[in-house]
Amino acid sequence: MITLTDIAYVRSGVADIETAVRFATDIVGLELATPSEAWVAHLRADHRHHCLALVQGPSGVISSGFAVAGPDELAAAETELERTGFRVRRGDLAEARSRRVREFIAFDDPFGNRLELVSQQETISRPVAFTRPAGITEFGHLCLDAPDVHEAYRFWNTRFNARVSDWLGDAACLIRIDPVHHKLAVFRGERPGLCHMNFQVATIDDVFRNWHFLVEHGVEIEMGPGRHPQSTAIFLYFLGPEGFTYEYSFGVRRIEDDAAWQPRTFDPDEPGSIDMWLGPVRRVSSQLQLASPEPAGPEPATSQPASTQPASTGPARLEPASTESVTTGRTA
Ligand SMILES: [Fe+2]
């Protein structure tokens, strides 16, 4: 069992880094860290050095990072993943430095989402210098796509301290790794990708102030303001450059009595199951996973479910150096 202590970051490839950074700062409100690499912009929202890295190159999500407790736990996770048939690669020093972690490993989930487990992510004590007062308090959760959310949950639940908090039928699985109702979600999607990245805000007023701000600035509101009955969070989803969906939310439920919580199942087609205020709902845009030329994911002929496909193999690289661009604006 691999214990994830927190979510760490999203790393996303962008063809137009200037536009993407301008949106992340001037619109979303994140702090741009002092540049330390020519083609990487680090965006900060909380105690982490950054939670979003925008990397100049083909557009598409590069990886989603999760923290483990330390180097021993990382080594144990590496052994455990390899033992169960995953191809795992250790990041080199420069890659770890770019992520502001001491060490990390990379592998693909059975659906092709690139995951990274990190040890010793850098903390910054200085208050965040937000570009605008959006009210952001922290990086709240990330949401991945997989064609079968039940298979996806099996992957997370059998290997990690990941427990379902609630189901949205076959459409989504909301997963906790600590008392927060969900720090991870898996949404049904044909191709691997990042459905959205969430930032918590301090008050309900921030959600509505941000809504007006986004509308005034011509940003596409994908869904909300509304309220999810599962987490009780008041949400606002909006579309950034290159198919990247951001979310602000306030008031996420905490599950303090883990043993007593019974996951519930909601029918996504039932009115109010996604937005209990009965506003219009839609599937928000996902940014597709960059095709990875690196060997990762389960090896053939392992204990992986037969319905999953092993990832492609090739030379070891973590950065999106290929020419393939996979951004999409898919909605449903
Ligand atoms: Fe969300």
Q: Tell me the three state secondary structure of residue 287.
A: strand
pLDDT at 329 over 90: no
Structure tokens, 326? 């996979």
What is the distance between the alpha carbons of residues 58 and 38, in angstroms, rounded to a whole number?
16
Q: Other C-beta atoms within 10 Å of 32: how many?
A: 18
Distance in Å, CA 195 to ligand 1 centroid: 9
Mean pLDDT of the chain: 90
pTM over 0.85: yes
Distance in Å, CA 94 to ligand 1 centroid: 31
Distance in Å, CA 48 to ligand 1 centroid: 20
Distance in Å, CA 142 to ligand 1 centroid: 7
Q: Other C-beta atoms within 10 Å of 309: how many?
A: 13
140 or 300, greater pLDDT = 140
Quote the percentage of the chain above a pLDDT of 90: 87
Residues flanking ion ligand 1, Cβ below 5 Å? 198, 247
What is the distance between the alpha carbons of residues 197 and 6, in angstroms, rounded to a whole number?
14
Distance in Å, CA 249 to ligand 1 centroid: 8
Distance in Å, CA 143 to ligand 1 centroid: 7
Distance in Å, CA 327 to ligand 1 centroid: 20
Distance in Å, CA 179 to ligand 1 centroid: 16
- 276 in Cβ contact with 228 (< 8 Å): yes
Place 139 in a pLDDT band, splitting at 50, 70 and 90. Answer: very high
Distance in Å, CA 129 to ligand 1 centroid: 24
Average pLDDT over residues 102-125: 98
Q: Tell me the three state secondary structure of residue 29.
A: coil
What is the distance between the alpha carbons of residues 253 and 234, in angstroms, rounded to a whole number?
11
Distance in Å, CA 183 to ligand 1 centroid: 9
The string of pLDDT tens digits covering residues 117-136 is 999 999 999 999 999 999 99
Distance in Å, CA 193 to ligand 1 centroid: 14
Distance in Å, CA 324 to ligand 1 centroid: 28
What is the predicted pLDDT for the residue at 292?
Answer: 64
Distance in Å, CA 168 to ligand 1 centroid: 13
Place 273 in a pLDDT band, splitting at 50, 70 and 90. Answer: very high
Distance in Å, CA 311 to ligand 1 centroid: 27
Distance in Å, CA 326 to ligand 1 centroid: 22
What is the distance between the alpha carbons of residues 195 and 331, in angstroms, rounded to a whole number?
10
The string of pLDDT tens digits covering residues 64-91 is 999 999 999 999 999 999 999 999 999 9
